[in-house]
Amino acid sequence: MYSRILVPVDLTNIDQLTKALNVAAQMAKQNDATVVYVGVVDAVPTMSSRTEGERIKAQLDSFTAEQAKTHGIKTDDHVTLRGDLHLHVGKDIIAAAKDADCDLIVMASHVPGIKDHIFSSNAGYVATHAPICVYVIR
């Protein structure tokens, strides 16, 4: 049913993604699909010769290999640079899914708080605007 499953990951908060990572891995096994882990990075200038995107790509490559070994699934990764520092990364996640030719997005969400009644969450934005299926895990 699905061939490429996109999972947005924040490498600084992996412990909060466990459920989403497990669901994506299970769905990949059931569908013989590839899980594409995506990291969205601010494209801001740094003093280092190594860009933030290159640094995250190296970390994401390592994380992706670990997930493939742990779950016994096919994996890939993708880094998306965002040039404008808008409020949320929903548009970037949807663009990454299109760039990586994914047909499903599995993403973690938090329990809504008061802030979410004022500003939409990333998962809410993606679920509302993505042209493909979105599975939000809380």
> 73-118 pLDDT, tens per residue?
999 999 988 766 666 788 999 999 999 999 999 999 865 555 555 5
Q: Supply the pLDDT for residue 56.
A: 86
Instruction: Provide the CATH number for the domain around residue 100.
Output: 3.40.50.620
Identity of the amino acid at 78: H
pLDDT tens digits for range 23-80:
999 999 999 999 999 998 876 655 555 566 778 899 999 999 999 999 999 999 999 8
Report the alpha-carbon distance of residue 20 to residue 106 in Å, rounded: 6
CA contacts within 13 A on the Cβ side of 41: 21
Question: C-alpha 97: how far from its chain's center?
Answer: 9
What's the domain count of the chain?
1
At residue 112, what are phi and psi to the nearest 5 degrees?
-60, 140
Range of the domain at 128: 4-137
3-state helix, strand, coil in the chain (%, to 5): 45, 25, 35
For residues 118 and 83, the answer to whether their CB atoms sit within 8 Å is: no
With b for 16 or more beta-carbon neighbours within 10 A and e for fewer, the 79-89 pattern comes to bbeeeeeeebb
